[in-house]
Amino acid sequence: MGPRERIARVKHGLGRLRPAVAVGQMAHRRALGPARRRYRELGLRKPWFGSVSHAEVAGRGAGQARLDRAGGIDELEADERFAALDPKLQAGLREWPRRGYVAAEGFFAPGAVAALNAEIDRLVSGGEIHQHHLSPRFMNVHRRSPAARALAEDPRVLEMIELILGRRAGLFQTICFIQGSQQEAHSDAFHMMTEPPGFLVGVWMALEDIDEGCGPVFYLPGSHRLPYVMTEDLGLGHPSRLVIADKGAAYVNRMRAVVGDHDAQPLTFTAKAGDVLFWHHNLTHGGSAVTRPGATRRSLVGHYFGDRVLCYHEVTERAARMPAGFD
């Protein structure tokens, strides 16, 4: 383990101490401006730099994302942007309330995908980006890669998300994978939650052709309608005033039970380069096992928050540090 990894692991350990969370958040006053405003609107009487969790904020916010509410499809079809979409995307959006995802074939042109792959290879070989210390992924590559930013902030991507949410949205983070994640079943809501809930969309972009041996993404259609799994559902006991609980194992076990109890069978996204999968932040998904040695699963993932909602990380109990442009 190199110095970078050792430092990262120390930071990860300190991140479970509530005083350390507060100190770390204090250094990001501007990025936490949206959280401060939401605290006031929600009547949350606590320091903007302190820890925050679902148990404290649930039910304080009002409103639902467009396609989560009754009448959302009628509102969607009245949006002039919807009428201009490809009929396959229109059909996918109409199914969103039932399925919780839209698969968009050939969304990005081969040239754009090739440009991003070449740029990622250059950044990796030049030591300009580094894998996350806990898992094989590159975080926020769009900050270094204009090609990644071009895909992640493509106006058509943002338009799709805004049609789903019924409000303006923006990119929060990107994750680049070279190999399959083989990640256990989870929902993004445990990692990136909103109050009111439902105002985050995940977008998975295939950067190469992906077959079953690559460890494709799997997902459970309709699982976005299941109750959200939050800290209070994990049986961890009364929270400590000093230490944020280590929730990983308990969460994995709870989500295994969710998958076992769900009626629908998991589907895998065996995509072609340029295909895109949009999903609801409570859709249960993960990474299948890589069954072909040496197989890659090059992909770019973006997570997008809706504007004017409280955005926070339930797993680490801190408000999200928002990029410029969020209110």
pLDDT tens digit string along 270-284? 999 999 999 999 999
pTM of the complete model beyond 0.85: yes
> CB neighbours (10 Å) of residue 93?
22
Q: Is beta strand 267-268 parallel, antiparallel or unpaired with respect to 276-280?
A: unpaired
* Per-residue pLDDT tens digits for 145-199: 999 999 999 999 999 999 999 999 999 999 999 999 999 999 999 999 999 999 9
Please give the pLDDT value at position 308.
96
Residues 6+ apart with CB under 8 A from 270: 210, 211, 212, 216
Tally of CB atoms within 10 A around 237: 7
| Mean confidence (pLDDT) of the chain | 94
Question: Confidence class of residue 2 from pLDDT cuts 50, 70 and 90?
Answer: low
- Give residue-wise pLDDT tens across range 96-107: 999 999 999 999
Residue 68 has pLDDT above 70, yes or no: yes
Residue 10's pLDDT is what?
Answer: 55
* Residue 263 tokens, joined: 């009626």
Domains of the chain (ranges; CATH) run 3-319 (2.60.120.620)
Q: CA-CA distance, 172 to 199, in Å (whole number)? A: 12
For residue 6, pLDDT over 90 is answered with no
